[in-house]
Amino acid sequence: MHARPSPARILGVIALATAGISVSGPLARLAGAPPLAIAVWRLLLSLLILAVPLLATGSWREWRGLSTRDLAIAGGAGALLALHFWSWIASLGLTTIAASVLLVNLHPIVIVAGSALWLDERPTRPQLMGIAIALLGAALVALAPGSETAPADGGQAVGSAAMLGNTLAVIGALTVGLYYLAGRSLRQRLSLWPYVALVYGACLVSLLIAAAFTATPLWPYAPRELGIFALIALGPMLAGHTGFNWALRYVPAYVVSVALLAEPVGAALIAALLPGIRELPTPSTLLGGTILLVGLAVSARTRGASKD
């Protein structure tokens, strides 16, 4: 049995994981490639990384016990994840990073609602209160004016473009919430590495089909772009998701869930400080974001769930 890591090490991993997921939005903004291309490269490089523990542990053999229904679930979950990546990355070119990351983090509400509708898991009164608070904050964020620096062209993210970006971010929250629900039963039959490899593989196939259908160029890209793609895969995937999943072995799930709420804060700070972006959220976005995060924290704390 492995010795329990020290509290300082656990806290350090959680902090690194939080930083890892926080860089995803700013890095995607810096990339000049189309959203579908960014998503394809993120999944492709992530799968190359995942192949190491998958092969080293031999856990890929778990796929042999899957039924046709299981494979269909994996395919559906992968398609939902593909739509999430496309819609969220596309939103970053139309609205502010702060608004996009805040709104895409509404997915716990989708999970609670879906669990009540399809899994007969009714939300508690504190969860409903948290959802109501989060929705109020989300409305303030969605209706807030743009920041001082534009996502795409140097002007303000205002009007119909910002509204479309906010809508795409909400679609990203909806689809990733449905992705978690769709993969829930499958996750119970597969350990971590074969599960994420299977679903990410289905996601990559869906993205490649979409890229072919829309004639999105996937190659060639300059070394700068390829470097950004690699950082997107390494930061959010390797440091972020892997770190949080490691921490779940040693801390309660709600600790990880609340830590995930730091992503919008971290992403907004990075966007404000990064020379290539220099984006400052408006007071309305800050107020709405604070209310949204409080609502999600209430819901997450009472649910004890986390992002996997």
Is 103 contained in some domain? yes
Is 87 contained in some domain? yes
- Judge contact between 25 and 267, C-beta under 8 A: yes
For the packed helices 159-182 and 97-104, what is the interaxial angle rounded to 10 degrees? Answer: 30
Is 223 contained in some domain? yes
Rounded to whole angstroms, how far apart are CA atoms 11 and 60? 31
Residues whose CB is less than 8 angstroms from the CB of residue 118 and which lie 6 or more positions away in sequence, other chains included? 181
Other beta carbons within 10 Å of 167: 16
Is 2 contained in some domain? no
For the packed helices 7-22 and 253-260, what is the interaxial angle rounded to 10 degrees? Answer: 40
- Judge contact between 89 and 152, C-beta under 8 A: no
Is 284 contained in some domain? yes
The distance between the two most distant Cα atoms of the chain, rounded to a whole number of Å, is 57
Is 275 contained in some domain? yes
pTM (predicted TM-score): 0.82
Q: Which residue range is the domain that position 243 belongs to?
A: 7-303
What single string gives the DSSP state of each residue in 87-126? Answer: HHHHHTTTS-HHHHHHHHTTHHHHHHHHHHHHS--PPPHH
Is 104 contained in some domain? yes
Number of domains in the chain: 1
Rounded to whole angstroms, how far apart are CA atoms 90 and 259? 25
For the packed helices 68-91 and 159-182, what is the interaxial angle rounded to 10 degrees? Answer: 160
pLDDT in tens, the chain (308 residues): 557 888 889 889 888 988 888 898 999 999 989 999 999 999 999 999 999 999 999 999 999 999 999 999 999 999 999 999 999 999 998 888 888 888 888 877 877 787 777 767 777 888 788 888 888 888 888 776 654 444 444 444 556 788 899 899 999 999 988 888 887 778 778 888 898 899 999 999 999 999 999 999 999 999 999 999 999 999 887 888 778 767 867 776 556 666 777 888 888 888 888 888 888 887 888 888 899 888 887 876 655 443 43
Is 31 contained in some domain? yes
Q: 151 preceded by cis ω (within 30°)? A: no
